[in-house]
């Protein structure tokens, strides 16, 4: 190449470079060929070429030869023994059968006519020594004295040379520049016909990869209109997914990633939100019925309690809900009556003996239901977490990663916090309602209370011998406070049973459904919210970074080139049939 002035050693620079000088010659009579003229292989460094030059040339030649779609022209000069010319060894190592190697012999005019050496080169040109599937070709170059000779004169001189001596016995298509042009065109045609389908497949693959990359970058977002249009599209996709999750319609591919092996409280399961919340609500209902009361009073033969004597913890309750059992205190009926009696004695006002303070029942209920707030609050938090996970997954699914984070942090998360706060405030109102004096119109309360008292009276009557005098005496000696305590306990158990069912319904409907589930999609991210955003807000969220814009322009340009190549391949493949 010799692009540097002076010697390599004196200037400390390479005499060769990897830069490619391209020269295009076009015209109706020119063949469709691309030739790459590689520098000749150097065996050892010289004053002009350094060791680095030798290495560079070998690496460069190897890179071109290893490209499987090229046809290698292994050019050897008849001035030197071909056994010493490295290019032949390199080509045979890379292409052992010679399927894409054409040997070229130059300067045969330097050989002595009739010599053994000339015969050896003729043998090589006949493809009988070093065999290549593509064969060999022989050319006569212009000598130093013929530099000024025209192409026409040069071709005529070459034709005369090959029509005499041993060269006239060589097949016409293997000698001379004119036949080489035809031969290379035919070789290229055959080679391209073989390689074009593979090349087309590679172009199609690269086009698909480029299209996928552009899709990952998202829609173009360089102007305010493009940014807003992009956000509108995201919000519509987001709303469709979240609405389906709330309704329980899981046909969208978004829900296919749900892991059926995970528990219902797991974030992965949150994608199927309605199913997950329904299950957690059921868990909350079991928890409240079994563990919601402060005192666990065992039901006896003739006396009602809060739990059956043989009751065991349900196996279908999740561990986080079963933990509520630790907040309960086990009490026998007699211990509970004593507790009620002591509280009754400390709650007296101006009521007559045998009567109780009207607010006394409220105090009992407040004590028995004091854990409701913490249990319900924990349940609300679990459902709220599921909603948050769904919203985050949905926005990540519908847009690119960096933009999803911006949207969630600046728009969606604040809306989720608002909804959570509204749910907590609603729960606080329910708890405040619970703390008011008791009132019920539930007929089940009076029925349950009447049945409990009847069972208690019947049990006592059956326990006393049938003797009127003794019965009258026993009745006269009854402890009025104990009787009041028993009545109050039966009232508490009957009232609690109805009230806990109402509380379960109120939490799941007025708190969970009203504030966390309903309108989850439209209240967190909708076209209306986007329309209300200023251009600055839109730009801060959806504006495209400069590096993304640069990447997009690069891949769009690459896509355009590949699409042109795809069209060219279709045309070229059509011409081969």
- Choosing from 158, 178, 197, the residue where a domain stops is 197
- Give the model's confidence band at 67: pLDDT under 50 very low, under 70 low, under 90 confident, else very high: confident
pLDDT at 408: 92
One domain, residues 281 and 171? no
CA distance 291 to 314: 11
Domain contains 250? yes
Cα angle 94, 562, 212; round to 5: 105
Domain contains 564? no
pLDDT at 550: 79
One domain, residues 131 and 242? no
One domain, residues 168 and 233? no
Average pLDDT of span 249-253: 92
User: What pLDDT digit, counting tens, does each position of 536-569 carry?
Assistant: 888 887 777 777 777 877 888 888 888 887 787 7
Q: Say if CB 391 and CB 521 are below 8 A apart.
A: no
One domain, residues 367 and 510? yes
> Does the structure show a pLDDT above 90 at 333?
no
- Choosing from 197, 213, 244, the residue where a domain stops is 197
Burial of 304 (0-12, 13-18, 19+ CB in 10 A): buried
CA distance 419 to 413: 10
CA dihedral 364, 367, 368, 374 (to 10 degrees): 150
CA distance 462 to 324: 39
CA distance 187 to 102: 9
- Give the model's confidence band at 444: pLDDT under 50 very low, under 70 low, under 90 confident, else very high: confident
Average pLDDT of span 439-445: 85
The encoded tokens of residue 460 equal: 């006592």
Structure-model confidence comparison of residues 274 and 305, the more confident one: 274
Domain contains 395? yes
One domain, residues 335 and 377? yes
One domain, residues 149 and 285? no
One domain, residues 521 and 438? yes
Parent domain of 189:
8-197
One domain, residues 358 and 497? yes
For residue 295, give the H/E element and its range: strand 295-297
Domain contains 570? no
> Does the structure show a pLDDT above 70 at 80?
yes
Query: DSSP strand E in 125-196: where?
Result: 136-138
Q: How many domains does the chain have?
A: 2
Q: What does residue 75 show for φ and ψ, rounded to 5 degrees?
A: -85, 125
Alpha helices by DSSP H, 163-223: 177-217
Average pLDDT of span 49-57: 78
Largest CA distance in the chain: 158
pLDDT at 220: 72
Domain contains 268? yes
Domain contains 546? no
CA distance 547 to 464: 94
- Give the model's confidence band at 283: pLDDT under 50 very low, under 70 low, under 90 confident, else very high: very high
User: What pLDDT digit, counting tens, does each position of 19-30 carry?
Assistant: 777 788 877 766
One domain, residues 308 and 394? yes
User: What pLDDT digit, counting tens, does each position of 341-356 carry?
Assistant: 888 877 776 566 656 6
User: What pLDDT digit, counting tens, does each position of 494-522 carry?
Assistant: 889 999 999 999 999 999 999 999 999 99
The CATH number covering residue 43 comes to: 3.40.50.300
- Choosing from 176, 197, 218, the residue where a domain stops is 197
Give the mean pLDDT of the chain: 82
CA distance 42 to 34: 24
One domain, residues 192 and 235? no
Domain contains 210? no
User: What pLDDT digit, counting tens, does each position of 92-150 carry?
Assistant: 998 988 888 899 999 999 889 889 999 999 999 999 999 999 999 999 988 888 778 88
CA distance 77 to 87: 11
One domain, residues 162 and 251? no
One domain, residues 181 and 240? no
Q: Which residues contact 390 (CB under 8 A, 6 or more apart)?
A: 242, 245, 270, 271, 273, 520
Report helix angle 51-66 to 86-94, nearest 10: 40
Domain contains 215? no
Report CA Rg, the chain. 47
């Amino acid at each position: 190449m010799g692009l540097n002035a002076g010697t390599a050693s004196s200037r400390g620079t390479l005499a060769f470079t990897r830069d490619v000088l391209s020269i295009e010659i076009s015209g109706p009579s020119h063949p469709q060929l691309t030739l790459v003229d590689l520098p000749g292989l150097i065996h050892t460094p010289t004053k002009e070429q350094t060791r680095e030059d030798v290495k560079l040339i070998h690496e460069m030649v190897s890179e071109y030869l290893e490209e499987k779609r090229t046809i290698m022209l292994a050019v050897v000069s008849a001035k030197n023994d071909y056994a010493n010319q490295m290019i032949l060894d390199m080509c045979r190592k890379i292409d052992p059968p010679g399927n894409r190697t054409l040997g070229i012999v130059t300067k045969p005019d330097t050989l002595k006519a009739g010599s053994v050496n000339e015969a050896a080169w003729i043998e090589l040109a006949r493809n009988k020594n070093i065999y290549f599937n593509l064969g060999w070709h022989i050319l006569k170059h212009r000598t130093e004295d013929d530099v000024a000779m025209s192409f026409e004169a040069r071709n005529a001189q070459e034709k005369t040379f090959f029509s005499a001596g041993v060269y006239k016995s060589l097949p016409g298509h293997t000698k001379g520049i004119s036949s080489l042009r035809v031969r290379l065109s035919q070789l290229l045609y055959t080679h391209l016909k073989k390689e074009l389908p593979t090349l087309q497949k590679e172009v199609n693959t690269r086009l698909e990869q480029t299209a996928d990359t552009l899709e990952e970058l998202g829609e173009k977002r360089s102007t305010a209109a493009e940014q807003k249009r992009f956000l509108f599209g995201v919000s519509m996709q987001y709303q469709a997914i979240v609405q389906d999750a709330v309704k329980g319609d899981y046909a969208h591919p978004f829900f296919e990633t749900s892991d059926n092996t995970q528990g219902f409280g797991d974030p992965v399961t949150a994608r199927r939100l309605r199913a997950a919340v329904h299950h957690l609500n059921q868990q909350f209902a079991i928890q409240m019925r079994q563990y919601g009361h402060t005192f666990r009073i065992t039901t006896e033969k003739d006396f009602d309690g809060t739990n059956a004597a043989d009751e065991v913890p349900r196996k279908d309750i999740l561990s986080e809900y079963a933990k509520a059992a630790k907040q309960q205190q086990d009490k026998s009926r007699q211990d509970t009556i004593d507790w009620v009696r002591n509280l009754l004695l400390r709650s007296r006002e101006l009521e007559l003996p045998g009567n109780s303070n009207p607010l006394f029942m409220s105090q009992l209920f407040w004590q028995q239901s004091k854990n409701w707030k913490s249990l319900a609050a924990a349940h609300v938090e679990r459902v709220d977490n599921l909603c948050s996970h769904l919203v985050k997954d949905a926005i990540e699914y519908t847009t690119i990663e960096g933009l999803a984070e911006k949207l969630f942090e600046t728009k969606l998360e604040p809306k989720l916090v608002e909804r959570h706060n509204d749910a907590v405030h609603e729960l606080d109102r329910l708890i405040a309602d619970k703390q008011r004096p008791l009132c019920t119109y539930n007929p089940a309360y009076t029925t349950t209370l009447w049945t409990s008292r009847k069972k208690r009276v019947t049990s006592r009557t059956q326990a006393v011998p049938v003797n009127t005098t003794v019965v009258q005496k026993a009745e006269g000696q009854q402890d009025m406070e104990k009787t009041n305590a028993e009545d109050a306990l039966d009232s508490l158990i009957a009232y609690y049973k109805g009230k806990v069912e109402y509380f379960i319904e109120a939490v799941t409907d007025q708190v969970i459904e009203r504030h966390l589930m309903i309108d989850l999609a439209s209240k967190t991210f909708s076209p209306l919210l986007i329309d209300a955003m200023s251009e600055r807000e839109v730009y801060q969220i959806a504006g495209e970074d400069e590096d993304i814009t640069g990447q997009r322009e690069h891949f769009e340009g690459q896509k355009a080139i590949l699409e042109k190549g795809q069209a060219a391949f279709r045309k070229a493949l059509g011409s081969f049939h």
